[in-house]
């Protein structure tokens, strides 16, 4: 399946990470969102990308790999939508506006586009369910109708939000 996805990531404590040639960044404890695209098939499909992002053991290739491999990071949920439209930047901007998110690292995950960043930090929003709903709303505003949710937070596993 081709499309766009947003990872909802929790950092359990502040971290200082070297991101390959990008350099060293410090990320504070909290919740982060990373939006990416999956326009291919196989490992480049949505299923392939999400599966890769969930693995701790992998070769670092993308900026986000360095964060996701860190022992203090955890993916809580993934919001994704099947689409052939190349609008990951618009989705990222919509989420940024909706959640009044900040940019913790300029050019992170956006070296191939003109965006400030594809990694967003959100204020402590409380319930993960509310955050998921806000991300889904950002998708819907861009007419991405086929939204699905995958939960990787133990307390949300198996539940559907409407």
User: For residue 76, what are its two tokens?
Assistant: 């809580």
- Higher-pLDDT residue of 123 and 138 is 138
Residue 140 has pLDDT above 50, yes or no: yes
Whether 61 maps to a domain, the answer reads yes
Q: Are 8 and 128 in contact (CB under 8 A)?
A: yes
Q: Give the residue from 121, 110, 118 showing the smallest Cα distance to 28.
A: 121
Average pLDDT over the chain reads 84
Q: Are 72 and 31 in contact (CB under 8 A)?
A: no
How large is the average pLDDT for residues 47-61?
A: 87
Query: Residue 43 is part of which domain span?
Result: 3-151
Whether 162 maps to a domain, the answer reads no
- Higher-pLDDT residue of 49 and 146 is 49
Whether 156 maps to a domain, the answer reads no
Residue 133 has pLDDT above 50, yes or no: yes
Rounded CA-CA distance 130/113 in Å is 29
pLDDT of residue 149: 65
pLDDT of residue 44: 86
First to last CA, the chain: 23
Q: Are 154 and 129 in contact (CB under 8 A)?
A: no
Whether 160 maps to a domain, the answer reads no
Whether 158 maps to a domain, the answer reads no
Banded model confidence at residue 7, pLDDT cuts 50, 70, 90: very high
Give the three-state DSSP class for 50. helix
Give the three-state DSSP class for 23. strand
pLDDT of residue 120: 94
**Domain tally, the chain:** 1
Whether 8 maps to a domain, the answer reads yes
Rounded CA-CA distance 132/109 in Å is 21
User: For residue 151, what are its two tokens?
Assistant: 């939960």
Whether 114 maps to a domain, the answer reads yes
User: For residue 8, what are its two tokens?
Assistant: 């909802």
User: For residue 63, what are its two tokens?
Assistant: 């900026």
pLDDT of residue 160: 47
Whether 101 maps to a domain, the answer reads yes
Residue 110 has pLDDT above 60, yes or no: yes
């Amino acid at each position: 399946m081709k499309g766009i996805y947003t990872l909802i990531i929790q950092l359990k404590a502040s971290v200082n990470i070297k991101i390959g040639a990008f350099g060293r960044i410090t990320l504070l404890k909290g919740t982060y969102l990373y939006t990416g695209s999956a326009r291919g098939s196989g490992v480049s499909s949505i299923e392939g990308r999400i599966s890769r992002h969930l693995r701790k053991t992998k070769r670092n290739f993308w900026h986000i790999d360095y964060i996701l491999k860190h022992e203090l990071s955890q993916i809580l949920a993934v919001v994704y939508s099947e689409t052939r439209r190349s609008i990951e930047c618009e989705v990222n901007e919509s989420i940024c506006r909706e959640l009044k998110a900040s940019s913790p690292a300029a050019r992170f995950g956006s070296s191939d586009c003109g965006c400030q960043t594809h990694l967003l930090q959100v204020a402590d929003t409380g319930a993960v369910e509310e955050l998921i709903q806000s991300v889904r709303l950002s998708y819907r505003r861009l007419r991405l109708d086929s939204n699905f949710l995958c939960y990787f937070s133990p307390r949300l596993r198996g539940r559907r939000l409407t």
